[in-house]
């Protein structure tokens, strides 16, 4: 809201400046300046009250109690609570519910990492809530984890708020973890480090700024940071509700020469959710898990890699920086779901 009001203030200020600059040529320059002044005062008042207006709107938007809300240069962060259920919302989009987030994060991390018993170095892109970190740090052989998240407010919140620290088991305070607040694409371009396992946990590709992080150029760059025999995993939206978007991610990973292995898991807060493992070798699901899990088991894991007819592969273009087709797929498919 504040950004829109600021844009309006700038427009009115420019209009007033133009009225003064061309006052000799304008017939009603005085009256136009009065109108502009009134508009400017109204916008200033609205800007001052924007925080209260946002809070009032959110009180109606969210059914649960808001326990934290803040605007950052990158997003609107809201945490709500109902009984023992904490929920994170970014820009009004639900990111997790504490009641079932373990399903998502176990599915994101363990099918890949459990097949890499010698993995020592891990990279997490996104995931500023520390929940993927929590799962990674269960493996004693992990030597270091670099977490790159754009928004310092996210990592600060989840490293300081006691209920959120309890949820991520203080993962952001682990001596094995290095937190870097930077753009993932830029950070990859500036670093030469190699990693045994990479977790790509970005928000869904709802706009072009995020869509670039699902592009062939991004995956080509990321592949250069994979150690020999390493794997990456990409959260890839829902293969049920955004089927073509999901398979677009698979197609894009394959286009840069990676072997992509798609799978999915049921997360009640979201429905069926999709992931893609990618590397330079064929993937086989783990025969066992050496760490504690609440959701996954060796017996049920193979079923995650089976796709019923309504989620089976469909044709999709490669997502490139110069076409951003994934954003168009995503916008179209989720608009149909909302309807």
Over 60: is that where the pLDDT of 19 sits? no
Query: Does 129 qualify as catalytic in the annotation?
Result: no
Residues across the chain: 339
Set 64, 201, 292, 310: catalytic member = 201
* Other beta carbons less than 10 A from residue 18's beta carbon: 14
* Other beta carbons less than 10 A from residue 163's beta carbon: 13
Q: Give the pair of three-digit tokens for residue 20.
A: 């003064």
Which pTM value belongs to this model? Answer: 0.83
At 278-321, the pLDDT tens digits run 999 999 999 999 999 999 999 999 999 999 999 999 999 999 99
Distance CA 208, CA 49 (A): 31
Chain-centroid distance of CA 289 in Å reads 27
Instruction: Determine which helix (DSSP H) or strand (DSSP E) holds 24, and give its type and residue range.
Output: none
Distance CA 148, CA 309 (A): 36
Chain-centroid distance of CA 224 in Å reads 22
At 196-206, the pLDDT tens digits run 999 999 999 99
Three-state SS at 266: strand
At 109-122, the pLDDT tens digits run 999 999 999 999 99
């Amino acid at each position: 809201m504040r950004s829109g009001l600021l844009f309006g203030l700038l427009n009115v200020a420019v209009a007033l400046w133009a009225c003064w600059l061309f006052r000799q040529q304008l017939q009603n320059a005085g009256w136009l300046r009065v109108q502009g002044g009134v508009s400017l005062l109204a916008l200033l008042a609205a800007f001052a009250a924007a925080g209260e207006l946002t809070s009032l709107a959110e009180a109606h938007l969210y059914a649960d109690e808001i326990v934290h809300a803040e605007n950052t240069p990158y997003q609107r962060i809201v945490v709500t609570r109902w009984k023992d259920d904490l929920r994170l919302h970014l820009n009004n989009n639900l990111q997790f519910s504490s009641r079932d987030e373990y399903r998502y994060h176990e599915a994101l991390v363990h099918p890949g990492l459990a097949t890499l018993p010698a993995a020592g170095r891990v990279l997490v892109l996104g995931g500023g809530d520390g929940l993927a970190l929590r799962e990674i740090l269960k493996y004693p052989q992990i030597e270091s984890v670099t977490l790159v998240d754009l928004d310092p407010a996210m990592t600060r919140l989840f490293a300081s708020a006691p209920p959120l620290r309890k949820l991520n088991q203080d993962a952001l305070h682990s001596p094995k973890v290095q937190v870097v607040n930077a753009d993932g694409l830029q950070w990859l371009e500036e670093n030469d480090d190699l990693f045994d396992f990479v977790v790509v946990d970005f928000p869904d590709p709802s706009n072009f700024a995020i869509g670039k992080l699902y592009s062939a150029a991004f995956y080509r760059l990321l592949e250069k940071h994979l150690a020999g025999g390493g794997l990456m995993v990409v959260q890839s939206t829902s293969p049920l509700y955004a089927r073509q978007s999901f398979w677009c991610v698979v197609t894009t990973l394959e286009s840069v020469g990676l072997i992509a292995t798609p799978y999915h898991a049921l997360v009640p807060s979201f429905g069926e959710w999709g992931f893609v493992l990618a590397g330079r070798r064929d993937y086989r699901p783990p025969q066992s898990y050496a760490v504690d899990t609440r959701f996954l088991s060796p017996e049920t894991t193979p079923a995650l890699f089976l796709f019923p007819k309504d989620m089976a592969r469909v044709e999709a273009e490669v997502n490139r920086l110069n076409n951003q087709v994934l954003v168009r797929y995503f916008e179209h498919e989720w608009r149909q779901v909302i309807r």
